[in-house]
């Protein structure tokens, strides 16, 4: 089982996993890396050969100092200088080649992982999305996958290349003088461990600052959106005090970052300079005693200068490996969740039917408590059934079972005589259309929102669906009609306008079965009457299950089912139930709390 967001306390940057755990996490990237392994290996080889070519330059410099300069014979100097130039050009060309080789595969890996994550999220049940905050999923799809791409493109390559370069550099320096090689060998581990420790602390504080910035932004957003409420309740000073407290906390974290960064750069400057000083002192002594040549001393100092970045970067690169491993674990936390609602091995595509719906002993529960406790109900083809009940009676849960947005924990739901769990999901959801009480719209045009489930719908079909939903009037008044973009979540529209567009989206495909979860809750009385009049022409030809709270909505139905404490306790005509059932009368008159 994967961790839930509430259980996930350690952030990628804050954690310091053991090397074995880091490698185990990164190995899970193998399926995505395998198709691009040649390009990635080629980029690694190019970077390694480029570094080793540059490491050869100090040896040529040694030849120049101990040869033409010391002996006064300049005949070989042009060839040696040309060699230095050739090695420099080779390093530059290999650097260019590495970037070209690594750019396309790593961006493809990121795109493939993001596509897989998105597709998997679409397959996961509604219950999963209820448990996981959208921000957690968004951070995995954007921030974590970017971290993985950067590691594959840069940190992963240079973690190998710089380690090999540092080892080769120490060996080369040791071949010139065992004393100089030993000095560098002693200083390198201390340098790497110290920078690694500071980098990990800095990464942890950086992530904490990001979280605190998010918290601060949330306060600003809530204050801006709820300014009327805050002012009406006189809470402005309390919210301002909370904002200032969080701002001071963030400031302290940012100052901590500055101190750590200053300490890191102090180490990055001081330790290499100390190493160069030690090599220069030992080398000068060697030259004075005749143990070393001047060329060897120059080569030793040059090698140490060149090895400054490969050695200094190892701490940073190891931290990036830990961050990439944490990001990989967070990615697989979602992908490892098995979709609970999938096509059965024996799934079928039933022939077109009338849309008969049957609930047989339906039970549904979560958290150890049953919401539905044995529902039996039949809706005949072409019949409209209104579902009425108090808060917590299970109305919304019952409607979600028809299109398999959730699965029963007991009993059966059948459409046209076939258990919905045996239907192919794609076919079932073409047959069953749902409009929710809370209309969800996308940041796109009116046309795209209405035709979301029927992408090839014509403008005539879109306008007809809008007419049925009573939305033609306000859509015609929009600046660009059907092409008007309505903003994220339809923010530019009123609640009633959003609900009418969601209703139009449900009816555009003329599905055999229509499930409406209180579709008129955000409409004013005048608009409600218009939509009800249009709905009558649609509901007459389809099987409909309508969650209703208003008497006017109930009157659209042929029959009404009363849901109490997870059971259907009465079924009949509205007028009959109103006359014979006290609970039903109380619900419609508002004497009980309604959802």
Q: Where is 119: in which H helix or E strand?
A: helix 77-123
Q: Which residues on neighbouring strands pair with residue 517, listed in sequence order?
A: 547
Q: Which residues on neighbouring strands pair with residue 80, listed in sequence order?
A: none
SS (H, E, C) 309-353: HHHHHHHHHHHHHHHHHHHHHHHHHHHCCCCCCCCCCCCECCCCC
Where is mean pLDDT largest: 194-198, 372-376, 528-532?
A: 372-376
Question: Into which CATH architecture does domain 357-589 fall?
Answer: 3-Layer(aba) Sandwich (3.40)
Q: How confident is the model at residue 491 (pLDDT cuts 50, 70, 90)?
A: low
- R_g of the chain computed on alpha carbons: 35
pLDDT greater at residue 370 or residue 379: 379
* Assigned token pair, 69: 């300069």
Residues whose CB falls within 8 Å of the CB of residue 150, separated by 6 or more in sequence, listed in order: 320, 324
Predicted local distance difference test score (pLDDT) of residue 595? 37
Predicted local distance difference test score (pLDDT) of residue 326? 80
* Assigned token pair, 429: 């959801």
Rounded mean pLDDT of 24-35?
A: 91
Rounded mean pLDDT of 80-91?
A: 85
Cα torsion 236, 242, 245, 249: sign: negative
**Average pLDDT over the chain, rounded to whole?**
81
Predicted local distance difference test score (pLDDT) of residue 538? 65
Q: Tell me the CATH number for domain 18-335.
A: 1.20.1560.10
Rounded mean pLDDT of 566-571?
A: 91
One fold for 18-335 and 357-589: no
Residues whose CB falls within 8 Å of the CB of residue 234, separated by 6 or more in sequence, listed in order: none
pLDDT greater at residue 99 or residue 486: 99
Q: Where is 579: in which H helix or E strand?
A: helix 574-580
Cα torsion 496, 500, 501, 505: sign: positive
Q: Could you tell me which of 433, 451, 446, 454 has the C-alpha nearest to residue 519?
A: 433
User: Using an 8 Å Cβ cutoff, are 375 and 365 in contact?
Assistant: no
Rounded to whole angstroms, the Cα distance separating 17 from 315 reads 14
Q: What percent of the chain has a predicted confidence (pLDDT) above 70?
A: 87
Predicted local distance difference test score (pLDDT) of residue 196? 74
User: Using an 8 Å Cβ cutoff, are 502 and 523 in contact?
Assistant: no
Rounded mean pLDDT of 393-398?
A: 87
Instruction: Give yes or no for residue 271 having a pLDDT over 90.
Output: no
pLDDT digits (tens, 9 = 90+) for 323-349: 788 888 889 988 998 888 888 888 898
Rounded to whole angstroms, the Cα distance separating 454 from 505 reads 9
pTM: 0.73
Where is mean pLDDT largest: 363-367, 483-487, 544-548?
A: 544-548
Residues whose CB falls within 8 Å of the CB of residue 158, separated by 6 or more in sequence, listed in order: 47, 313, 317
pLDDT digits (tens, 9 = 90+) for 315-325: 778 778 877 88
Instruction: Give yes or no for residue 10 having a pLDDT over 50.
Output: no
Rounded to whole angstroms, the Cα distance separating 2 from 220 reads 33
Residues whose CB falls within 8 Å of the CB of residue 94, separated by 6 or more in sequence, listed in order: 46, 47, 49, 50, 53
Rounded to whole angstroms, the Cα distance separating 563 from 574 reads 14
pLDDT digits (tens, 9 = 90+) for 124-156: 877 787 777 766 777 788 878 988 999 999 988
Phi first, then psi, for residue 454 (nearest 5°) are: -130, 75
DSSP SS3 for 146: helix
Q: What percent of the chain has a predicted confidence (pLDDT) above 90?
A: 17
Q: How confident is the model at residue 367 (pLDDT cuts 50, 70, 90)?
A: low
User: Using an 8 Å Cβ cutoff, are 83 and 60 in contact?
Assistant: yes
Residue 357 C-beta-side C-alpha neighbours within 13 Å: 28
Q: What secondary structure does DSSP assign to 416-467, as a single string?
A: TTEEGGGB-HHHHHHHEEEE-SS----SSBHHHHHTTT-TT--HHHHHHHHH
Domain boundaries, the chain: 18-335, 357-589
Predicted local distance difference test score (pLDDT) of residue 38? 93
Specify the residue for token string 């022939």: 351
Residues whose CB falls within 8 Å of the CB of residue 590, separated by 6 or more in sequence, listed in order: none
Q: How confident is the model at residue 45 (pLDDT cuts 50, 70, 90)?
A: very high
* Assigned token pair, 203: 């990464």
Predicted local distance difference test score (pLDDT) of residue 70? 72
Where is mean pLDDT largest: 232-241, 413-422, 524-533?
A: 413-422
Cα torsion 66, 71, 76, 78: sign: positive
Rounded mean pLDDT of 476-494?
A: 79
Looking at residue 155, the DSSP 8-state letter turns out to be I
pLDDT greater at residue 483 or residue 20: 483
User: Using an 8 Å Cβ cutoff, are 32 and 112 in contact?
Assistant: yes
Predicted local distance difference test score (pLDDT) of residue 424? 92
* Assigned token pair, 272: 């290499």
Q: What secondary structure does DSSP assign to 342-399, as a single string?
A: ---TT-B-PPP----EEEEEEEEEETTEEEEEEEEEEE-TT-EEEEEE-TTSSHHHHH
């Amino acid at each position: 089982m994967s961790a839930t967001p509430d259980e996930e306390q350690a952030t990628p940057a804050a954690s310091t996993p053991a090397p074995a755990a880091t490698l185990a996490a990164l190995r899970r990237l193998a399926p995505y890396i395998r198709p691009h392994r040649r390009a990635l290996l080629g980029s690694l080889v190019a970077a390694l050969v480029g570094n080793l070519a540059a490491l050869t330059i100090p040896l040529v410099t040694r030849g120049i100092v101990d040869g033409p300069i010391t002996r006064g014979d300049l005949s070989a100097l042009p060839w040696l200088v040309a060699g230095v130039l050739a090695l420099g050009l080779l390093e530059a060309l290999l650097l260019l080649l590495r970037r070209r080789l690594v750019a396309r595969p790593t961006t493809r890996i990121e795109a493939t992982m993001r596509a897989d994550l998105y597709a998997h999220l679409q397959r996961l049940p509604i219950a999963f999305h209820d448990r996981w905050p959208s921000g957690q999923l968004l951070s995995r799809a954007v921030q974590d996958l970017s971290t993985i791409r950067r590691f594959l493109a840069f940190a992963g390559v240079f973690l190998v290349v710089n380690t090999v370069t540092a080892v080769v550099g120490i060996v080369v320096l040791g071949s010139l003088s065992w004393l100089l090689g030993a000095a560098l060998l002693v200083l390198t581990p201390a340098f790497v461990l110290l920078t690694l420790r500071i980098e990990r602390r800095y990464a942890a504080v950086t992530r904490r600052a990001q979280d605190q910035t998010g918290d601060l932004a949330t306060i600003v957003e809530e204050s801006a959106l709820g300014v009327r409420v805050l002012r009406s309740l006189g809470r402005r000073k309390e919210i301002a005090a909370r904002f200032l407290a969080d701002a001071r906390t963030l400031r302290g974290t940012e100052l901590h970052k500055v101190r750590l960064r200053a300490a890191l750069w102090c180490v990055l400057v001081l330790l290499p300079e100390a190493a160069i000083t030690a090599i220069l002192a030992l080398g000068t002594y060697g030259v004075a005693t005749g143990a070393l040549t001047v060329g060897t001393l120059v080569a030793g100092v040059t090698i140490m200068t060149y090895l400054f970045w490969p050695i200094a970067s190892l701490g940073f690169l190891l931290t990036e490996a830990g961050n990439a491993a944490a990001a990989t674990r967070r990615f697989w936390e979602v992908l490892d969740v098995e979709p609970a609602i999938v096509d059965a091995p024996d799934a079928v595509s039933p022939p077109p039917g009338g849309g008969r719906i049957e609930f047989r002993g339906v039970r549904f529960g979560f958290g150890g408590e049953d919401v539905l406790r044995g529902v039996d109900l039949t809706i005949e083809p072409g019949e409209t059934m209104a579902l009425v009940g108090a808060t917590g009676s299970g109305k919304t849960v019952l409607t979600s079972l028809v299109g398999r947005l959730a699965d029963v924990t007991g009993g059966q739901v059948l459409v046209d005589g076939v258990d919905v769990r045996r239907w192919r999901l794609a076919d079932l959801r073409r047959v069953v259309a749902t409009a929710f009480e809370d209309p969800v719209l996308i940041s796109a045009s009116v046309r795209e929102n209405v035709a979301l489930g029927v992408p090839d719908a014509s403008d005539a079909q879109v306008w007809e669906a809008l007419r049925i939903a009573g939305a033609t009037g306000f859509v015609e008044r929009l600046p660009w009609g059907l092409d008007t973009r309505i903003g994220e979540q339809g923010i530019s529209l009123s609640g009633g306008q959003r609900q009418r567009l969601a209703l139009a989206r449900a009816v555009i495909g003329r599905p055999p079965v229509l499930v409406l979860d209180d579709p008129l809750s955000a409409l004013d009385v005048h608009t409600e009457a218009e939509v009800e009049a249009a709905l009558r022409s649609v509901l007459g030809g389809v099987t409909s299950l309508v969650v209703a709270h208003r008497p006017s909505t109930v009157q659209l139905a042929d029959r009404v089912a009363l849901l109490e404490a997870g059971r259907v306790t009465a079924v009949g005509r509205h007028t009959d139930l109103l006359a014979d059932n006290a609970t039903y009368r109380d619900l419609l008159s508002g004497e009980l709390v309604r959802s």
